[in-house]
Amino acid sequence: MITRIQPGARMSQAVVHGGLVWLAGQVGEPGDDVVAQTRTVLSQIDALLAEAGSDKSKILSATIWLADMADFGAMNSVWDAWVDKANPPARATGESRLATPAYKVEIIVVAAV
């Protein structure tokens, strides 16, 4: 069975299948700095994982896109305070032009349910 969480015309915010949950890329509020956007993104991830019956201790992988790698340290200051230190996921971080210049960070995760 496939469960789609918060489906829309273009995409779902999460899809659950076969004991895994895939989250769509989460972004913060345009105009906020990277610290505030990262906090918002991680809060959204927590909420979506909870809705899927999971939590951050079950994240398998995270892909983080930054609009500017100069924000790597600031983003990590929020990530490091949030991540489950007993169960850190595999992670990759890269620089990419995001959907709008107002977005500073986008995070995509896959987790076990």
| pLDDT tens-place string over residues 33-88 | 999 999 999 999 999 999 999 999 999 999 999 999 999 999 999 999 999 999 99
The pLDDT confidence band at residue 31, using thresholds 50, 70 and 90, is confident
Would you state the pLDDT for residue 34? 97
Which residues lie across from 22 on neighbouring strands? 15, 110
Is the overall model pTM greater than 0.75, yes or no?
Answer: yes
Q: Distance between CA 36 and CA 94 in Å, rounded?
A: 19
Range of the domain at 37: 3-112
Stretch among 2-6, 29-33, 65-69, 108-112 having the lowest mean pLDDT:
29-33
Q: What is the mean pLDDT of the chain?
A: 97
Region 7-15: mean pLDDT is 97
Number of independent structural domains in the chain? 1
Nearest alpha-carbon partner for 6 in 83, 37, 16: 16
Q: What is the CATH number of the domain that holds 92?
A: 3.30.1330.40
For residues 64 and 34, the answer to whether their CB atoms sit within 8 Å is no
